[in-house]
Amino acid sequence: MNDLPDATLMAMAADGDDSAFAEIVSRYQDVLLNFFMRKGVSYADGQDLAQKTLLRLWRYRKRYEPTAKFTTFMFLVAGQVAIDFVRAENRRRGLQEELQRTAEENTFTGRMSSPGETTVACRPPAPDGEAEERVRQTVASLPPAMRDVVELGVFQDLPYADVAEILGIPSGTVKSRMFNALRKLKELMDER
Amino acid sequence: MNDELERDLTAAGGGLLPFAESLRRAPAAHAAPGFAENVMAKVRRRKRLTWLRPVAFAAAASAAAAVALTAVVDTSAGKPSEEVLMAHQRADGSFTASSASPHVQAFAVSALARKGKPAFHALQLAVNALIRSQGADGGWGSAGLSARNVAALSAANAAGLSLARPAYLRGLRYLRTHGIAEMSAADFSREAKDALARIGTSPDVGLMHSAALASRL
């Protein structure tokens, strides 16, 4: 099972073989975790999002065509999961602000949360080193369009054509954006 | 690094190639122990759920109910589905006459919220039923029921149903004033799974489908 290509494992998973899918999980759990953490989310949220992506891949296993590279398919799904997460966070933030406003206007505000307090549970710190954190935070601070090409082209080592397909932009744009992004990132890293 | 990028970065100069290589060599985070096992437990649970045929629930039901449920199998491809759930929605927006599971309405609202546009009208009716049972203080009597119903209203609001928003905010305020924690999606799903296990062989299609659908994260 360990040496089978991704496409074969997914075909086996589509036939209901969950041990084949377990191999996919084991191959890509860290890749996905780091993909999300370099977008600036915490370790705990990164794990949640990696899990959501893997469960969505399981749900979509029959839609995957072995003619396409599995990682292209996986990062497309991971990108959708990231977008859903950002939307949910924005909604949650909007609701928190609205609730805070109504609480301030209310007479029984004594038992409501104080300004700035959120209902998000405390997250454990990422169990990793300073160098890793520095790279992750600097990548996360790039504008999203630049960050995405570096993530897929450098960290995931995907060719321009695959990055273009995942991001829905022309290959030429990937290439020019890549240089600008790496120059910017280098500047930011040198500053830190 | 792939040849294409390596060639371009070499040509671009400015130390971009060694910089990109150093990025790739940077240490990475690792998933917590048990992460993969947890994902696979959920995968296996989902596999079991797809085998959960309504006809199996009919086995313990009366002959008349069994006939009705067999008809359901024909239209639902044997899987818990929002379409079947909608078909069993009552005129007042509720899903079951059973008092055995007061949480079913929350599960149904959450399931319909995820279905999106095709279930929007059913979601509206279901949320109205939930709001009708909401107390003046914003809660539903018990801590567990209130937490589930608030989570369901949150899902309906997130799905774009604006009428759920004031009720959600009232419910949230109730939870806060009573020191009750908001329920996460994972907890909600776990509650639905537990309810499904308790329901067992109930012939109540609305009850079974809503819990089965809500148990999927």
Query: 3-class secondary structure for B40-57?
Result: HHHHHHHHHHHCCCHHHH
Contact A55 B42 (CB under 8 A): yes
Give chain B positions within 8 Å (CB) of A185.
Answer: 19, 23
What are the pLDDT digits (tens) for B87-125?
778 888 887 655 556 778 898 899 899 888 888 888 999
Give me the torsion for CA of B67, B69, B72, B73, rounded to 10°.
Answer: -100
Place of tokens 């992750």: A136
What's the rounded Cα separation, in Å, for the pair A128 and A161?
Answer: 33
CB hemisphere CA count around B178 (13 angstroms): 19
What's the rounded Cα separation, in Å, for the pair B35 and A107?
Answer: 45
Do B10 and B97 fall into the same domain?
Answer: no
Domain that holds residue B195: 35-214
- Domains of chain A plus CATH, in order, are 128-192 (1.10.10.10)
Maximum distance among all Cα pairs of chain A, rounded to whole angstroms: 65
Give chain B positions within 8 Å (CB) of A62.
Answer: none
Residue-level pLDDT at B191: 83
Do B18 and B94 fall into the same domain?
Answer: no
Do B19 and B40 fall into the same domain?
Answer: no
Contact in structure between B14 and A180 (CB atoms under 8 Å): no
- Provide, rounded to the nearest whole percent, the portion of chain B with pLDDT above 90: 26
Contact in structure between B76 and B212 (CB atoms under 8 Å): no
Asked if the interface predicted TM-score (ipTM) of this complex is over 0.90, the answer is no
Do B13 and B95 fall into the same domain?
Answer: no
Residue-level pLDDT at B71: 37
Contact B35 A95 (CB under 8 A): no
Residue-level pLDDT at B63: 40
Positive/negative CA dihedral, B91, B96, B101, B103: negative
Average pLDDT over residues A83-103: 79
- Provide, rounded to the nearest whole percent, the portion of chain B with pLDDT above 70: 78
Do B47 and B69 fall into the same domain?
Answer: yes
Do B19 and B85 fall into the same domain?
Answer: no
What are the pLDDT digits (tens) for B192-214?
887 777 766 566 677 777 778 88
What's the rounded Cα separation, in Å, for the pair B185 and B106?
Answer: 12
Contact in structure between A47 and A126 (CB atoms under 8 Å): no
The average confidence (pLDDT) of chain B is 78
Contact in structure between A74 and A166 (CB atoms under 8 Å): no
Residue-level pLDDT at B80: 72
- pLDDT higher than threshold 90 for residue A28: yes
Pick from B14, B40, B217: which is nearest to A18 by CB?
B40
Positive/negative CA dihedral, A130, A132, A134, A136: negative
Do B10 and B102 fall into the same domain?
Answer: no
Do B6 and B43 fall into the same domain?
Answer: no
Do B15 and B95 fall into the same domain?
Answer: no
Average pLDDT over residues A168-188: 92
Average pLDDT over residues B42-64: 54
Tell me phi and psi for residue A94, to 5 degrees. -60, -45
Q: Which residue has the higher pLDDT, B139 or A116?
A: B139
Tokens of A60: 């979509």
Measured between its terminal Cα atoms, the distance across chain B in Å is: 37
Average pLDDT over residues A19-33: 95
State the pLDDT confidence band at B68, using cuts at 50, 70 and 90. Answer: very low
Determine the residue of chain B that is closest to A110 in CA distance.
Answer: B177
Q: In this predicted structure, which of A17-21, A98-102, B186-190 has the lowest mean pLDDT? A: A98-102
- Cβ-Cβ contacts under 8 Å between A and B: the total is 128
CB neighbour list of residue B100: distance below 8 Å, 6 or more residues apart: B199, B202, B207
Residue-level pLDDT at A88: 83
Do B20 and B74 fall into the same domain?
Answer: no
Pick from A30, A135, A153: which is nearest to B5 by CB?
A153
Q: In chain B, positions 84-113, which contact chain A (CB-CB < 8 Å)?
A: none
What's the rounded Cα separation, in Å, for the pair A115 and A97?
Answer: 9
Q: Which residue has the higher pLDDT, A62 or B98?
A: A62
Q: In this predicted structure, which of A15-29, A30-44, A54-68, A110-124 has the lowest mean pLDDT? A: A110-124
Residue-level pLDDT at B208: 74
Give chain B positions within 8 Å (CB) of A121.
Answer: 184
Element (H, E) at B151: helix B143-158
Q: In this predicted structure, which of B7-11, B72-76, B84-88, B155-159 has the lowest mean pLDDT? A: B72-76
What are the pLDDT digits (tens) for B22-50?
888 888 889 999 999 999 998 888 776 55
The average confidence (pLDDT) of chain A is 82
Do B66 and B25 fall into the same domain?
Answer: no
**Total domains, chain B:** 2
What's the rounded Cα separation, in Å, for the pair B172 and B154?
Answer: 9
Tell me phi and psi for residue B163, to 5 degrees. -70, -15
Do B58 and B12 fall into the same domain?
Answer: no
Contact in structure between B96 and B206 (CB atoms under 8 Å): yes
Pick the closest to residue A76 from A35, A23, A25, A46 (CA basis). Answer: A35
